[in-house]
Chains A and B, each alone.
Chain A
């Protein structure tokens, strides 16, 4: 059985750095075609993709947020960590980690799908 569990602070002060951890069970990033992403959803709004790391340790970031994001993995602990700097109240959202598959399509390595999602962790940015 595959589970992904997000953990991190529920409340962050503006300008602080947010650190979130995704702990994987039954899912491994040791294979190149596997990947884990972070995705967020502000209250009542749409999903927004943030970052992805694959089994090759290649990293991909949202164009609009890439200067604030860092994604990394610790294969020995089966964890993926996301840091987001300079938090603002507009960053208030539920943050999900999702496990998926990368494939080769038209000669390019692309995301195929997110098969598994965590329950999400709510983060409020407020002083």
Chain B
């Protein structure tokens, strides 16, 4: 089955830029999504089709996808952005999630 690999954790200072990567074979040939999950809550879509933001998602969230790596970038990171982030892609008629990255804002 298709595998997506994320770093377990990323730390960032408030106001700085956080980058979370997601690696998979030829991931750039597929669409990547990103979901944010805060403790005790359901996931929320923050990026789809590599770089599209759903309505209501702040402009500081952006995405890119090329080669084998998709990247979620959070500019001007705020304390409220501290959460787990999961990438997701569709391959061979199955959906796959990455292992998740815990973003710490400190």
Contacts and interface: CB of A to CB of B under 8 A. Distances in A.
Contacts of A111: 90, 95
Of B30, B31, B98, B99, the most chain A CB neighbours within 10 A belong to: B31
Contacts of B99: 46
Given A115-B45, A118-B42, A46 B33 contact: no
A114 B42 CA distance: 12
B13 interface: no
Contacts of B100: 46-47
13 contacts: A37-B95, A46-B86, A46-B100, A47-B37, A60-B94, A60-B95, A61-B94, A63-B94, A64-B1, A110-B30, A110-B31, A113-B33, A114-B35
Interface of B: 1, 29-31, 33, 35, 37, 42-45, 48-49, 54, 86, 88, 90, 93-100
Interface of A: 37, 39, 46-49, 52, 60-64, 96, 98, 105-106, 110-115, 117-120
